[in-house]
């Protein structure tokens, strides 16, 4: 196992790969796409070929392959969650973030455990089952553990949060062990940018200024027993093609050291934030076309890794990115503490982290994606049955994921439709379940799923395979 001082992001190799494959031959692009369709992933060099294939014809070929790969592995299932911002207080001074320490115009707030329960009740009442708790650098591990416990302890009629994932600052191995004991699902820690010079410029002070401490956060989490970890970058800080190959290097490092790559990859694009010139005028803006290329190439390069789409993007762009590779998305999101129970503003620049592109409520998002032919899912079965880390990746092989994930999606969606949905969404959703029942690969599992759907109609809840 590598020591936690050996920087594994090799910038020289990334630049060499991009230069070597500048303007690739169409035959080479076709060969890479043929390999991608085998669902075995791509090497950094093969990924660089697709990154440098910069013409409309290549785009369409890449997009078509990405749609095929996504459908082959994930089917039409989309997992939904909401972020809960626990605090907007922070010791860091990230130039692109409204929460940075030196932003004197931001109203600061850290939720008490009672306020966390109130936020949880508000989200459960909407129908959410999965939360992402978002913490600042100022939060200690005991407070983190208390707030996670508060979420899990909160019940509202038939509803509850069944899985908490967390996005928080790097911890020591000892503190990660405490976090592991809280029963979290996935631990997220985004590098923001893997380019060291840019990283130093964008993080001038605070603990986050330590590039290597953040880079090895997921290693320490794995050493503490947290086997579902997640990576991501903030697109717009540096060249997106560089960041893509750096993400591949990080994924390969985790695979090499711990036997499994990241559970999910996030690809947020920079959006305006209060008093942040960098956020308004990104150093390396990413166009809508390139954003689609980001998602499609990620899906081809790491086919079994979940790709998370946030509400930074507008509804129209979210619809396109769902087709190209997204497997999870947030819905009904707000990006400031207390947003769901006390502050229902769609846009609150004096407290929020950044400007949202999609402010639609959960019910409207669900009705939209069901109308597009997707199966909304709130499933948490894999976490609760120990199908995490490498075990989950084994199940993610083509066909196997449909045996568990699609039926579980239907079961959780049926709960939502009965307990929370508007009449229009309920009608649309029930049709979606009926239409997609044939996608379950075996007659026996279809029959079992129909039986459990009936039990849900009769009042049972929380059924899963």
* Residue 77, beta-bridge partner list: 375
For the chain, give every domain's residue range. Answer: 11-70, 77-360, 396-457
Task: Check whether 253 has a pLDDT greater than 60.
Answer: yes
Give the per-residue pLDDT at 193.
98
Give the per-residue pLDDT at 393.
63
Question: Contact, 279 vs 273, CB < 8 A?
Answer: yes
Using alpha carbons only, what angle is made at residue 390 by residues 39 and 260, rounded to the nearest 5 degrees? 75
User: Rounded mean pLDDT of 369-392?
Assistant: 82
Give the per-residue pLDDT at 251.
97
Give the helix/strand (H/E) hosting 188: strand 187-188
User: Rounded mean pLDDT of 85-94?
Assistant: 96
Task: Check whether 247 has a pLDDT greater than 60.
Answer: yes
pLDDT tens for each residue of 159-200: 999 999 999 999 999 999 999 999 999 999 999 999 999 999
**CATH 3.40.50.11610: does it fit domain 77-360?**
no
User: Rounded mean pLDDT of 236-255?
Assistant: 97
Global pTM reads 0.94
Give the per-residue pLDDT at 400.
62
CB burial string 133-167: b at 16+ within 10 A, e below:
bbbbbbbebebbbebbebbbebeeeebbbbbbbbb
Average predicted confidence (pLDDT) for the chain? 94
- Rounded distance, CA 318 to CA 321, Å? 5
Q: How confident is the model at residue 349 (pLDDT cuts 50, 70, 90)?
A: confident
User: Rounded mean pLDDT of 18-45?
Assistant: 96
Q: How confident is the model at residue 388 (pLDDT cuts 50, 70, 90)?
A: low
User: Rounded mean pLDDT of 341-367?
Assistant: 90
Closest CA to 369 of 401, 407, 413: 413
């Amino acid at each position: 196992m590598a020591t936690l001082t050996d920087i594994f992001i090799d910038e020289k190799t990334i630049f060499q790969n991009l230069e070597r494959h500048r303007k690739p031959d169409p035959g080479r692009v076709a060969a890479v796409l043929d390999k991608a369709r085998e669902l075995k992933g791509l090497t950094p060099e093969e990924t660089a070929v697709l990154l440098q294939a910069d013409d409309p014809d290549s785009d369409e070929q890449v997009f078509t392959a990405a749609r095929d790969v996504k459908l082959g592995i994930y089917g039409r299932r989309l997992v939904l969650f909401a972020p809960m911002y626990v605090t907007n207080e922070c010791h860091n001074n990230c130039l692109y973030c409204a929460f940075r320490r030196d932003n004197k115009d931001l109203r600061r707030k850290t939720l008490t455990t009672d306020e966390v329960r109130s936020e949880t009740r508000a989200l459960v009442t909407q129908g959410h089952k999965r939360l992402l708790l978002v913490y600042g650098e100022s939060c200690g591990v005991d407070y983190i553990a208390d707030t996670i416990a508060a979420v899990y302890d909160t019940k509202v009629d038939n509803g509850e949060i069944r899985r908490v994932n967390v996005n928080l600052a790097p911890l020591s191995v000892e503190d990660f062990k405490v976090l592991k004991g809280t029963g979290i699902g996935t631990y997220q820690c985004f590098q923001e940018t893997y380019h060291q010079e840019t990283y130093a410029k964008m993080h001038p002070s605070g603990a986050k200024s330590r590039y290597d401490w953040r880079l090895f956060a997921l290693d320490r989490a794995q050493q503490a027993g947290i086997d579902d970890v997640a990576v991501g970058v903030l697109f717009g800080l540096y060249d997106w093609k560089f960041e893509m190959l750096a993400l591949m290097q990080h994924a390969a490092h985790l695979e090499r050291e711990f036997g499994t790559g990241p559970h999910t990859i996030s690809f947020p694009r920079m959006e305006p934030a209060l008093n942040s010139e960098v956020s308004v005028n990104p150093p390396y803006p990413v166009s809508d076309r390139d954003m689609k290329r980001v998602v499609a190439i990620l899906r081809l390069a790491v086919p079994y890794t979940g790709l998370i789409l946030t509400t930074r993007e507008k509804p129209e762009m979210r619809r396109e990115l769902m087709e190209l590779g997204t497997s999870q998305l947030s819905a009904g999101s707000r990006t400031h503490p207390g947003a769901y129970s006390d502050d229902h503003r769609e846009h609150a620049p004096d407290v929020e982290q950044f400007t949202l592109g999609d402010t639609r409520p959960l019910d409207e998002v669900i009705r939209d994606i069901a109308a597009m032919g997707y199966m909304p899912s709130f499933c948490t079965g894999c976490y609760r049955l120990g199908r995490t880390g490498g075990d989950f990746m084994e199940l993610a092989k083509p066909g196997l994921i449909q045996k568990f994930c699609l039926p579980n999606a239907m079961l959780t969606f049926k709960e939502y439709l009965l307990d929370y949905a508007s009449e229009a969404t309920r009608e649309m959703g029930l049709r979606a379940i009926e239409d997609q029942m044939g996608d379950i690969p075996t007659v026996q599992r279809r029959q079992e799923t129909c039986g459990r759907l009936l039990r849900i109609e009769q009042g049972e809840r929380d059924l899963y395979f």
